[in-house]
Amino acid sequence: MTRAFLAWSTVLILFGSFNCRADDFVFEVQSPKFKVTLPNMPPMKMEAHPMQASQPHLRFLGSDGPYSISVITPAAAAGMTALECAVSTLRTLGARAGVPPPAQMHKTRVNDNTFVAMYAAPLGGVVRLNAHVLSAVGGTHCIEVHASMLSTSEDDMAPWFEGFTTANIEPN
């Protein structure tokens, strides 16, 4: 019994993962083709955005408890890069309701194809933590994935912001 326990313990240590958090949110869009991975968001069902018929760039929407995600794919000028799309989106982001000016956001470049703008916004008795993950695909579309979480604790802020430093949007 002891040998079996030691053998299994060794196998788990050598080959196992002790990461106890929930699975990442991973979602693939077929047109334009890309995949988004958000490490600190739970998997959730994504459905067609309810306003997609009148605004086709509003693609998908999902929620799970305090978390919500929307996928937006506006048309881009021919050949726009991920950086150009990120800059373009950041210029207009601050004009949206409840969004602070870009100077009050934390912005980071995750990799050559993924950029993130993050901020916290008070909302009644809670704080809405926001991350806009930005990219481009195929030189035809900009990509914006807006993830948010309603929080009642300041302790949620650091892990929320840290988790998006490894977010990724990649062409498929």
Domain parsing of the chain, residue ranges: 43-171
**Residues 61, 112: Cα–Cα separation, whole Å:** 26
Give the model confidence (pLDDT) of 66-106 as tens digits.
999 999 999 999 999 999 999 999 999 989 988 998 889 99
Just give the CATH number of 43-171. 3.40.1000.10
Q: Are strands 168-171 and 141-151 parallel, antiparallel or unpaired?
A: unpaired
Instruction: Say how far apart CA 29 and CA 47 lie, in whole Å.
Output: 11
Query: pLDDT digits over 107-159, tens only?
Result: 999 999 999 999 999 888 899 999 999 999 999 999 999 999 999 988 898 99
Give residue 96's identity as a one-letter amino acid code.
R
Quote the DSSP letter at residue 52: T
pLDDT given at position 47: 97
